[in-house]
Homo-oligomer: A and B are copies of this chain.
Amino acid sequence: MTTATGSHDYLRQRALGARQAALQLATSDGGARDAALQAILKALDSERERILAANAADVEAGKALVEQGELGEPLLKRLELREGKYQATREMVRSVIAQPDPLWSTLKATKLDEGLNLYRVSVPIGVIGVIFESRPDALVQIAALCLKSGNAVLLKGGSEAANSNAVLAEVIEMATASVEGIPDGWITLMESREDVKGMLCQEDAIDLIIPRGSPEFAGYIMANTNIPVTGHTDGICHVFVDAAADLDKAVRITVDSKISGVATCCASETLLVHGEIARPFFERVIGDLEAHNVLIRGDERTLELAGDLGALTPVSEQDWSTEYLDYILSVKIVDGAEEAIDHINHYSSHHTDSIVTEDKTTAKRFLLAIDSASVFHNASTRLADGFKFGLGAEVGISTGRLHSRGPVGLEGLTCYKYVLEGSGQTATDFDGEPSRPFLHRSLDAIWSMQANG
């Protein structure tokens, strides 16, 4: 029975299908999942023209939207699947294949009693709904990560990328349909907002929703579903230049954190500068920032101390909690690391914050006390990324504290279960009369899926 996209029945049918597919994928062989990823890679080559044509249509429509002021230039750029990005997307799938199988790893093993061994083993989460922004390459990335980790997935992309997404999802579904061990229905593209609404009430069929986008959007999703949600929201990231900073590093990190990817969530929005080093540092960095078209909004002390060095404007209270995603940087002078820590823990979105200092004691204090997913010492905030962290690829960057935090790769798409292999033990053996104590001895053993293991 086929029902129309956008109808409640359609979504229900696909979600229940995804649940069935997930149960099968959970016990699928790692080799089968890799073979399916290879098939996707092959299809990305053979269907390249068709995919790029669909993308070109989206980009054309996007240009019109930009002209009408309904779409920002940086978003248009993210929509495009040009030559380099297509290649990068292929490479990303390859890197996911190269990752070790995240499933059925023994995370912990404990001998509870003679002939009673407990294993904590990694398993897929199950069915995951992902709502992502206008980047068609994100569809391929999320699908590849979900497949490798044995999860079924329902996807909803930005409407600006509708043509690209439709062709990509079709190509991926077709490519994997003939691979042995891969169940039908593991991937569904949702095309309408109605589908998303339909998804939110399927708590028996969907285990996790990952909204990528603004905090308001994530908040809307959380308020409208009982399904667990992991927020991948805004990045209000900070660089703190301490009194003991090496000025070369401070300039390089400040500039890179702001301008190397201005529209990314790990770009810095606020620069905190220790008063003692502020003047010499501003003398070196303000020109550099302005040369890159960065507008600087300073607090009172910054304007006083550095007003002669550039076209600074006053910062407002609201700036401290604004994610610009643009060539704007708010700047504040502080009297030490503790003031910087307090400011960051108050205003940060707990994404990524960095200290520049040669003083190791101050650095350790900052790394301990900053309550963020990624805390850096002498490194650009722009390094907060799943690929850069060596996770292969990322499903997003979590600003929540549950399950996974920071860049989320394959491991973040797994949970675990406890496997207990006994020889007839009961609870009464350990708490009845007579009883024996548990051994609770850590085991250096790996749980085997094989009967002879």
Please tell me if the beta carbons of A26 and B425 are within 8 angstroms of each other in the complex: no
Count this chain's copies in the assembly: 2
A259-299 interface bits toward B, Cβ cutoff 8 Å, 1 = contact, 0 = none = 01100000000000000000000000000000000000000
Interface positions of A from 229 to 274, Cβ below 8 Å from B: 229-230, 246, 248-249, 252-253, 256-257, 260-261
Q: Which of chain B's residues have a CB closer than 8 A to the CB of A62?
A: none
Name the contact of A422 in the complex, choosing from B260, B361, B379, B449 (C-beta under 8 A): B379
Name the contact of A424 in the complex, choosing from B23, B116, B226, B249 (C-beta under 8 A): B249
Interface positions of A from 400 to 441, Cβ below 8 Å from B: 400-403, 405-407, 415-428, 430-432, 438, 440
A330 at the interface (CB under 8 A from B): no
**A414 to chain B: closest residue by CB:** B401
Please tell me if the beta carbons of A390 and B424 are within 8 angstroms of each other in the complex: no
Please tell me if the beta carbons of B368 and A402 are within 8 angstroms of each other in the complex: no
Please tell me if the beta carbons of B450 and A418 are within 8 angstroms of each other in the complex: no
A378 at the interface (CB under 8 A from B): yes
Choose the segment among A4-12, A137-145, A152-160, A369-377 that binds chain B (4+ C-beta atoms closer than 8 Å): A369-377
Please tell me if the beta carbons of A417 and B373 are within 8 angstroms of each other in the complex: yes
Please tell me if the beta carbons of B110 and A401 are within 8 angstroms of each other in the complex: no
A364 at the interface (CB under 8 A from B): yes
- Inter-chain CA distance A363–B117, complex, in Å, is 14
Name the contact of A368 in the complex, choosing from B27, B364, B377, B407 (C-beta under 8 A): B27
Please tell me if the beta carbons of A420 and B377 are within 8 angstroms of each other in the complex: yes
- Inter-chain CA distance A83–B273, complex, in Å, is 60
**A341 to chain B: closest residue by CB:** B23
A313 at the interface (CB under 8 A from B): no
Please tell me if the beta carbons of A402 and B423 are within 8 angstroms of each other in the complex: no
- Inter-chain CA distance A239–B376, complex, in Å, is 50
- The winner among A369, A402, A440 for most chain B CB atoms within 10 A is A402
- Inter-chain CA distance A423–B382, complex, in Å, is 15
Name the contact of A379 in the complex, choosing from B256, B403, B420, B438 (C-beta under 8 A): B420
- Inter-chain CA distance A376–B422, complex, in Å, is 7
Q: How many residues of A contact B (CB 8 A)?
A: 83
Q: Which of chain B's residues have a CB closer than 8 A to the CB of A428?
A: 256, 260, 380
Q: Which of chain B's residues have a CB closer than 8 A to the CB of A379?
A: 116, 420-422, 424-426
Name the contact of A417 in the complex, choosing from B226, B406, B422, B450 (C-beta under 8 A): B406
- Inter-chain CA distance A448–B361, complex, in Å, is 11
Contact of A380 with B425 at beta-carbon distance under 8 Å, contacts A226-B222, A440-B390 already known = yes
A424 to chain B, nearest CB (A): 4
Given contacts A253-B426, A376-B419, A402-B402, 17 further A-B pairs with CB under 8 A are A228-B401, A248-B424, A360-B452, A364-B448, A364-B453, A368-B449, A375-B418, A378-B421, A379-B420, A380-B428, A382-B426, A383-B420, A388-B427, A402-B403, A405-B415, A406-B418, A407-B418
